[in-house]
Amino acid sequence: MMKVIALIVDDDHDFASTMADIVQSFGYDTAVAYSPSQALSFLDEKHRFVGIILLDIEFAPGEKTNGLDLLEIIRKNYLQIPVVMISGKGTIEAAVRATKLGASNFIEKSIISKDKIKAVLDSSSRHISAFSEELEVQKFLASCGIIGKSKQILQVGDSIIRYGRTDLNVLITGQTGTGKKLVAKALHTISRRSKFPFVTVDIPNIPKDLFQSELYGHVKGAFSGAMETKRGLFQEANKGTLFLDEIGDLLIELQSNLLIPIEDKIVRKVGSIQNEEVDIRFISATDKDLITLMHEGRFREQLYHRLRECEIYIPPLSERREDIPEIINHYCQKHNNDFSEYKFFSNDTIDFLTEYNWSGNVRELVNFLKLILQTTQKDKIEISDVKKVLSTNHNSVQYQIPVFATDRTLKEDLAEVDKKKIEATLAQCNGNVSKSAALLGVSRETLHNKIRRYNIDVSLFRKKN
C-alpha cells in the first residue's frame, strides 16, 4: 500500500534533500519539486496521494510565482492538503499573509530541527483527519446547492446529516433568502425517505377556503366545483417528506388542521367518512419568530412542539462572509460552463462583494451574480461594473407592477406579473432569450412558450447599433 506523500517544494537542492531524509524517517514517502511549476505538475497528477506540502516562500529571481502565490493556488484547487510554509527570511508580514491564505503552519529554516519537523507532521496529520471530515460535509452541502466552508455553514451541514437520518420533525429557521428550502431538500436527500416524494406546501399562496382541500384532498361532490375526487398533499407525500414552507404565515384558525396528521398520521378527504393512514416526515421553515407569535396568540403551542422536535438555524450571510467568495466562484464557474465564456471577478471586486450588505442573503447575492455575469460584456469584472449594476438594480424600477383589477381572476393577475417580469428581463439581457431564461431560472423552451403565450415581441428589447 502506498504511503502518504510529503511534497517538498524548495529550490535549494541540499536543503530539500535533507528535509526528504528527515521526513522519510517518520514513515512518509517524499517527492521534491524545485519550482512552483514542477509542484503544480506533480499535484496535477498525484494530488490524491499527497498528505502534506512543505513549501518554501522565496524562489530564484527568474521565477514568476513565489511560495505565497503557489499557496494561494493550492488552497483554491487542493483544499484537502495542509501546507506548511518554510522560509529562510521569515517575517511577521509573510507569516500573517500565509496564515490568511490558509497555511496550517509557518516555520523558519534557521530554527528548523528534526523534532520541529516531527511536531509539524503530527499536527498536520490531525489536521488531515479533521479536514477530511469537514471536506466531506462541504461536498455534501455543495451537492445540495449549499455553498460554503465557514464554521457556521459546516455546523448546519452537521445538523442536516445528524437529523436527516432520523424521522424527527425539523423546524428550519433563518432570515429570508438564507436557503431554508435547500436545507429541507438536503434533509430529505440524506433520509431513508429519499426515494419517495418531497412535497412542498407553499403556505402563503394557498387560499384560506381551499386549505383543507389542498392538504387533505376531497371526494367528488364534496362542495361546489368538486367535479372529481382529488388527492391532497398529505397523500402525495406518503412515505416521503412534506415541507411546510413559511409555516409562520399560516392563519391561527387553520393551524389545528395540521395537529392530527402530524401526531397520528391520519387524514380524511373533505366530504369523506373514511380515514387514511399516511407515513410522512414533516419539515417546516419560517423567517418569523414563532415564540413571539405564540405569546401574541397567533401560533399554537401544540403545533410548535409537534413541528419542532429539532431545529436548524441558518445564519444570515453577514455572519458567514467568508463563504461569499466561495459562492461567487461557484456561480461564476457555472455561468462559464453554461455559456462557454471565461468571465471572472477581480480580487478587489470579490473583496468589495464580500463586505457588501446583502440584506436578501444568498438569494439576493445569487440573483445579482446571475445578472452581472449575463449583462456585463467584458471578461474581467471590476468594482466599477458592480457598482453600476447595483445602482441600476437597486435605484430604478425594473418593471412596472400592474394594477390589480377586481374584475380579473387571480390566474389573470399572475399572468400579467409573469409577462412584465419576462419583459423586464429581456430588456436587461438585450433581448437575448438564452440569458433571460437562465436569469429567470427556466429552460429556453419554457421561456419561448411564455413569449408566444403573452405575444411578446422580443425584437423590441434588442438595442439598435
pLDDT digits 0-9 by tens, 289-301: 999 999 999 999 9
The DSSP 8-state label assigned to residue 4 in this structure reads P
Q: Are 284 and 171 in contact (CB under 8 A)?
A: yes
Of the pLDDT bands very low, low, confident and very high (cuts 50, 70, 90), residue 396 is: very low
Of the pLDDT bands very low, low, confident and very high (cuts 50, 70, 90), residue 465 is: very low
Q: Are 238 and 280 in contact (CB under 8 A)?
A: yes
pLDDT at 393: 63
Torsion of CA 87, 91, 93, 98, to 10 degrees: 20
Query: To the nearest 5 percent, what fractions of the chain are helix, strand and coil?
Result: 55, 15, 35
In 377-459 the beta strands, taken as DSSP E runs, fall at 380-381
pTM: 0.60
Fold of 151-313: Rossmann fold (3.40.50)
More confident residue, 402 or 260: 260
pLDDT at 61: 76
Give ranges for CATH 3.40.50.2300 in the chain.
5-135
Of the pLDDT bands very low, low, confident and very high (cuts 50, 70, 90), residue 397 is: very low
Of 243, 348, 347, the C-alpha closest to 286 is 243
pLDDT at 395: 42
Fold of 410-461: Arc Repressor Mutant, subunit A (1.10.10)
Q: Are 263 and 151 in contact (CB under 8 A)?
A: no
Instruction: Report pLDDT digits (tens) over 36-78.
Output: 899 999 988 888 778 889 998 888 777 778 888 888 888 777 7
Give ranges for CATH 1.10.8.60 in the chain.
317-395
Lookup result for grid cell 366545483: 225
**Element (DSSP H or E) covering residue 54:** strand 50-56
Give ranges for CATH 3.40.50.300 in the chain.
151-313
Residue range 317-395, CATH number: 1.10.8.60
Instruction: Report pLDDT digits (tens) over 245-272.
Output: 999 999 999 999 999 999 999 988 887 7
Lookup result for grid cell 441600476: 392
Residue range 5-135, CATH number: 3.40.50.2300
Q: Are 454 and 418 in contact (CB under 8 A)?
A: yes
CA-to-CA distance for 94 and 67, rounded, in angstroms?
Answer: 10
Of the pLDDT bands very low, low, confident and very high (cuts 50, 70, 90), residue 411 is: low
